Structure 1
C-alpha cells in the first residue's frame, strides 16, 4: 500500500496529519466535549512513534512544500504534524511530547480568540445542547429562531448524534446564525456561569511565544474561526489580513500558512490568501498530496482517539498504520469529502 501511494504521489508520500486537542483524561473529557476533537496523550505519543516506525520523517511544513514544488528531494516519506484552533491542552499535553521526541509542528490560530476567555461557537453549542438534553424539552424552546429549532429537534429526536447534527448545522449556516442560536439557547436556559463550557480554553500569547522560541510554527485560522465560504468577500479579506497581522504582531514571527475552517475553500479565498502573502493553505480533504500539487489545497488526514481503537476496545497498532497508509482509501472503502465550495452561496434549505 505504501509503495502504491509513493507511486501515486510522484515518488514520496507527503502526509499531513491534523489534530485539535490532546487531553490527559480522554474518558473524562469525552463526557463533556466534542469527541472528534480529542486524542489522549498516550495515543498521541503512539501515533508519533507509529509514524516513525512506518518510515516517515517528521518535517516542518516548509520542507514539505519544497519537496512538493521540486526544490529539494526527500530521502524518506515526510509527515507534517498540524493542530487547528490553538487549544490550551495542546500546550499542556501535546507540546511536551513533541519537544521530547523532537517533532516539529504547525499550529493554526484563530487570532482574535487567543489570550481571551472566549470559547469556540462549536464548543458553546455542544455544551448548550447537552444542557438542553439533560433538562428535557420545555415550552420555552417553542419560540426559537428557525435554525435553532431545527437543530434542537434533530438532537432531541435522536435522528442524529449530537456531534453529527452540529457538523451539519455549521456546514449550512454562517457565523452570525451560530451566534444567534447560541444567544437564543442561553436566554431559554437562564443566566449563569454554567452556560459557558469550562473546557476548551485557548492558549494565551505567552504560551504561543514560548512554543515559537522552541521553533514550533504558527499559521492563521481566521480571526474568530469563521467558515469563509459562507461569508462575503470583504469579510474574507478582513479575516485573512487581520489574523495574519495579529499573530505576527503578538508572536513576533512571520505568518505564511493558513488553515481553512471546516476545511472549506473557494477560488476567491485562495486569491485573497495569495494577495496577502501566504504560501500555503490546508484543507481537511483526506487524499494524497502529490508532487507538483497546488500548495493552497494541501490535503490532510484529521485524526482523533477512535481512529486507533481496535475490535477489543484498546489501541490497535495495525489499525493505526492502516490509517497512516490510507489502506481504506486505496481499497475504495471510504470516500473523501471535497473541501471546495462556491463562495457565499445562497443558504440551502435544511432537510433532516
Structure 2
C-alpha cells in the first residue's frame, strides 16, 4: 500500500513537471480553459447527493487561480480571447479562461466572491429553462433517490431503474460511489425517458422525509448581479440539458439549440454567442445548428487551445477536488493531456 501510494505521488509529480515545462516552452499563443460545475464547501450537505467529479471546494478554486498566476497565465474572458483571435489582435502567450457548466446557484454563493476578490472573469453556461425554477438535473434526483433509501423489490415504479442497479436488487441504500456508477449506466437512456420515470414516482419516494433541498439553479437576480460589472458572462448549454446525440427529432434539436440562444438574448446583459455541449455529446446535425446560432463551442475534449484551434472544437480541463485539490495535482492534470 505504501509502495503504491509512493508510485502514485511520483507519477503526479512527473506529470506536473511535464505540464509546467510544456506550458513554459509553448511559444504559440495558448488558451487553457478551466471547467467547473459545482462549487461547494467541504462539509456542504449537497455533497452527499452529488457526483464527486462535479464538485470543487471554494478554496481549491482559489488555489487554481493562484497556480495559473504562478505559471504566468493571464485571466481572460473566453469570448474576448476568441474575438481578439478573429480580429487578428495580439494574444497573450499564455492565458486561461474560467468556465462553469449548468448554472448552479452555488457558483453565485461560493465561486463569485473568489472571482470578485481576485478579479478573474468567468463564463457560466446556462441551461436556460432551469433558471428561475426549483428544478434540478436527473443525475442529482437519482443520486438522492438511491442513496437515501433501498429500492423496493416489488415496486413496479422502479422496473425501469432496477436493471441499472448493482446486483439488480439491492436491499440497502447505495453508497455515493455505487450511485455514481448507476448514473453512468443510465446514460444509455435518453434524458426525457429518465425524467418521465422520475416525474411519475409517488411522493413517498421523492419527498425525502419532507426535507426540501433549496433552490439549486441560479435565478435572474443572481445572473444579473454577476453580469452587472462585466466579470461574469453567459453562454448556452441548451434549454434542458438534453444530450444532443439522444435527440432524434429535428424540432427538438432546434428548440434546445436555437431556443437556448433566444433565451440568452432576453438577458439584460452578459450573454455571449458561445455554446457548450451537454455531456460533450456532439452529432453532425447538432453541430450544424450550433454553427448556425453560435460563434464558438466548448467540448469535453481534454487539452489546451492554440491560436489555430477550431472555434467549434474548444478543449478544456474538467476540474474537481479529486483531480486538482493541490497545485501539483492541477499541473499533473494539465500535463496528462499531452501524453
TM class by smaller structure: 0.7 to 0.9
Equivalent residues of 1:68, 1:290 under 8 A apart? no
Using the TM superposition, give the Cα deviation of residue 306 of structure 1 relative to its aligned residue in structure 2, in angstroms: 1.4
- What is the TM-score when the length of structure 1 is the normalising length? 0.80
Equivalent residues of 1:155, 1:165 under 8 A apart? no
Q: Which residue of 1 aligns with 2:31?
A: 14
Using the TM superposition, give the Cα deviation of residue 42 of structure 1 relative to its aligned residue in structure 2, in angstroms: 0.9
Q: Which residue of 2 aligns with 1:226?
A: 242
Q: Which residue of 2 aligns with 1:144?
A: 158
Q: Structure 1 regions of 5+ residues with no counterpart?
A: 310-315, 333-352
Hey, what's the Cα distance between the residues in 1 that align with 2:44 and 2:206? 29
Using the TM superposition, give the Cα deviation of residue 304 of structure 1 relative to its aligned residue in structure 2, in angstroms: 0.6
Hey, what's the Cα distance between the residues in 2 that align with 1:102 and 1:144? 48
Hey, what's the Cα distance between the residues in 1 that align with 2:64 and 2:140? 25
Equivalent residues of 1:228, 1:236 under 8 A apart? yes
Q: Which residue of 1 aligns with 2:198?
A: 182
Q: Which residue of 2 aligns with 1:106?
A: 123
Using the TM superposition, give the Cα deviation of residue 318 of structure 1 relative to its aligned residue in structure 2, in angstroms: 1.9
Hey, what's the Cα distance between the residues in 1 that align with 2:57 and 2:168? 27
Using the TM superposition, give the Cα deviation of residue 68 of structure 1 relative to its aligned residue in structure 2, in angstroms: 5.1
2:67 pairs with 1:59? no
Using the TM superposition, give the Cα deviation of residue 23 of structure 1 relative to its aligned residue in structure 2, in angstroms: 1.3
2:313 to 283, 289, 297: 297
1:198 to 197, 210, 213: 213
Relative to structure 1, the CA distance from residue 251 to residue 92 in structure 2 (aligned partners, 3 Å threshold; closer, same or farther) is same
Hey, what's the Cα distance between the residues in 2 that align with 1:36 and 1:207? 25
2:181 to 164, 174, 197: 164
Deviates more, 1:55-64 or 1:105-114: 55-64
Q: Secondary structure at the match of 1:16?
A: strand
- What is the TM-score when the length of structure 2 is the normalising length? 0.83
Q: Secondary structure at the match of 1:300?
A: strand
Q: Which residue of 2 aligns with 1:213?
A: 228
Q: Structure 2 regions of 5+ residues with no counterpart?
A: 1-17
Equivalent residues of 2:134, 2:215 under 8 A apart? no
Hey, what's the Cα distance between the residues in 2 that align with 1:247 and 1:197? 29
Hey, what's the Cα distance between the residues in 2 that align with 1:263 and 1:139? 35
2:293 pairs with 1:280? no
RMSD (Å) for aligned C-alpha atoms: 2.7
Hey, what's the Cα distance between the residues in 2 that align with 1:49 and 1:26? 23
Relative to structure 1, the CA distance from residue 66 to residue 200 in structure 2 (aligned partners, 3 Å threshold; closer, same or farther) is same
Hey, what's the Cα distance between the residues in 2 that align with 1:58 and 1:222? 26
TM-superposition CA deviations, 1:6-41 (whole Å, max 9, x none): 77x771321111101111334654323222111111
- By relative contact order (CA 8 Å, sep 6+), the higher-ranking structure is 2
Relative to structure 1, the CA distance from residue 264 to residue 58 in structure 2 (aligned partners, 3 Å threshold; closer, same or farther) is same
Equivalent residues of 1:123, 1:197 under 8 A apart? no
Hey, what's the Cα distance between the residues in 1 that align with 2:327 and 2:141? 34
Equivalent residues of 1:123, 1:200 under 8 A apart? no
Equivalent residues of 2:164, 2:182 under 8 A apart? yes
Using the TM superposition, give the Cα deviation of residue 244 of structure 1 relative to its aligned residue in structure 2, in angstroms: 1.4
Using the TM superposition, give the Cα deviation of residue 60 of structure 1 relative to its aligned residue in structure 2, in angstroms: 0.7
Equivalent residues of 1:24, 1:40 under 8 A apart? yes
